[in-house]
């Protein structure tokens, strides 16, 4: 445990599993008094058990990033107890898979944005006044390589992460003057419950695949994706270590690619022409090529 972090307060959203779970534990193990927040407190058993066993400075509280009142009440509870917030890790999110033609805007796309983008904004807006008054703080937003490179049948998810990248970059200029740093974490292919929580488009492409003109392409994608996943998948703990490093450093980088696959894809996007990158992605993920 690092004593210099003993009086610092951290919040992690989406702490019930995966990156959020490991990040909350990593911060607590390194001295941060950590609020591991989650929508469903029934999923808190594992993290509470570990925190109790290791005598960690960690408390689980309810926070639904989709809900204004839940967000406000959670932050007020933290402030009433600790009077400050030093680290905010915006991690809560999920994936929505399916052809954009098959995705319902009202029932599927809006909820995706509500959690992955507006949820970040909700929590950040509640935390910023506290950090401004302290003249210090770090907002660490968990993005994805899907915020840099678009993927087939991930238009909904990638849209939220591209938006999060722009939000974070813009926000960083606004809050630098108050001693607040905004940091992006961009992992890929993380071993976690994320894929178990992925939602499929409810229209014809998912429930009635024979009715969708995209069925064969989606099947190819899933086959190819498994191959890429087997080669490049990384544990959630690896992402948590990077987040911890960003939380501890006085002058962290403003964005962190996590994992070999993220590094490869970012390099391809930066060095290839749009057509070259497009065709490379088609070969890798769909087993096809175009001229």
The parts of the chain modelled with pLDDT lower than 70 are 1-4, 6, 192-198, 203-211, 288-291
In-domain check, residue 167: yes
Q: Is residue 277 part of a domain?
A: no
pTM for the model stands at 0.93
- Mark whether 157 is an active-site residue: yes
DSSP strand pairing (199-200 vs 190-191): unpaired
Of 118, 151, 157, 214, which residue is the catalytic one? Answer: 157
Domain count, the chain: 1
CATH number at residue 40: 3.40.50.720
Catalytic residue chosen out of the listed positions 8, 15, 16, 262: 16
pLDDT for residue 253: 97
Residue 287: inside a domain? no
* Active-site residue identified among 138, 161, 181, 203: 161
Compute the 3-state secondary structure of the chain and give helix, strand, coil in percent, each to the nearest 5: 60, 15, 25
Please tell me the predicted confidence (pLDDT) of residue 199. 78
Check if the beta carbon of residue 99 is closer than 8 Å to that of residue 153.
yes
Do the Cβ atoms of 6 and 31 come closer than 8 Å?
A: yes
Q: At what angle do helices 236-248 and 18-29 cross, to 10 degrees?
A: 40
Residue 152's contacts (CB-CB under 8 Å, 6 or more residues apart) are 217, 221, 281, 285, 286
Give the pLDDT confidence score for residue 1 in this predicted structure: 45
Known active-site residue 143: yes
Say which of 15, 17, 44, 143 is annotated catalytic: 143
Q: List, as own/partner pairs, every contact residues 165-169 make where C-beta atoms lie below 8 angstroms and the sequence separation is at least 24, other chains included.
A: 167/117, 167/120, 167/121, 167/141, 168/139, 168/141, 168/143
The count of C-alpha atoms lying within 13 angstroms of the C-alpha of 120, restricted to the half-sphere facing its C-beta, is: 26
Structural domain of residue 182, as residue ranges? 3-212+234-259
Q: How far is Cα 144 from Cα 174, in angstroms, rounded to an integer?
A: 23
Within a domain: residue 204?
yes
pLDDT for the residue 222: 86
Helix (H) or strand (E) holding 128: helix 119-134
**161 catalytic per annotation:** yes
**Is 122 within a domain?**
yes
Q: Is residue 271 part of a domain?
A: no
Q: How far apart are CA 51 and CA 23, in angstroms?
A: 13
User: What pLDDT is stored for residue 279 in this prediction?
Assistant: 92
CB 232, CB 188: distance < 8 Å: yes
Question: What is the enclosing helix (H) or strand (E) of 89?
Answer: strand 87-90
Which of 59, 57, 53, 55 has the alpha carbon at shortest distance from 41?
59
Considering the domain boundaries, does residue 219 fall inside one? Answer: no
Tell whether 268 is covered by a domain. Answer: no
């Amino acid at each position: 445990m690092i004593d210099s972090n003993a009086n610092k307060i951290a919040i992690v959203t989406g702490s019930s599993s995966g990156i959020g779970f490991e990040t909350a534990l990593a911060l607590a193990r390194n001295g941060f008094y950590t609020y591991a927040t989650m929508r469903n407190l029934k999923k808190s058993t594992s993290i509470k058990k570990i925190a109790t066993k290791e005598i960690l400075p960690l408390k689980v509280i309810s926070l639904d990033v989709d809900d204004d009142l839940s967000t406000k009440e959670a932050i007020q509870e933290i402030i009433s107890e600790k009077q400050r917030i030093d680290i905010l890790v915006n991690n809560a999110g999920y994936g929505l898979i399916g052809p954009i033609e098959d995705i319902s805007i009202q029932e599927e796309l809006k909820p995706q944005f509500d959690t992955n983008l507006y949820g970040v904004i909700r929590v950040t807006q509640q935390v910023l006044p506290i950090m401004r008054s302290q003249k210090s703080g770090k907002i660490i937003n968990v993005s994805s390589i899907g915020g840099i490179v678009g993927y087939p049948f991930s238009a909904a998810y990638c849209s939220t992460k591209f938006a999060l990248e722009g939000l974070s970059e813009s926000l960083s200029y606004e809050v630098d003057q108050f001693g607040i740093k905004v940091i992006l974490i961009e992992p890929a292919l993380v071993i976690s419950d994320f894929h178990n929580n992925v939602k499929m488009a409810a229209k014809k492409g998912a429930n009635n695949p024979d009715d969708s003109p995209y069925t064969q392409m989606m099947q190819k994608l899933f086959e190819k994706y498994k191959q890429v996943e087997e080669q490049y998948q990384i544990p959630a703990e690896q992402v948590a270590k990077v987040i911890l490093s960003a939380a501890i450093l006085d002058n962290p980088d403003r964005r962190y690619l996590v994992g070999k696959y993220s590094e490869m894809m970012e390099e391809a996007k930066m060095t290839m022409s749009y057509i070259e990158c497009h065709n490379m992605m088609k070969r890798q993920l769909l087993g096809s090529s175009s001229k």
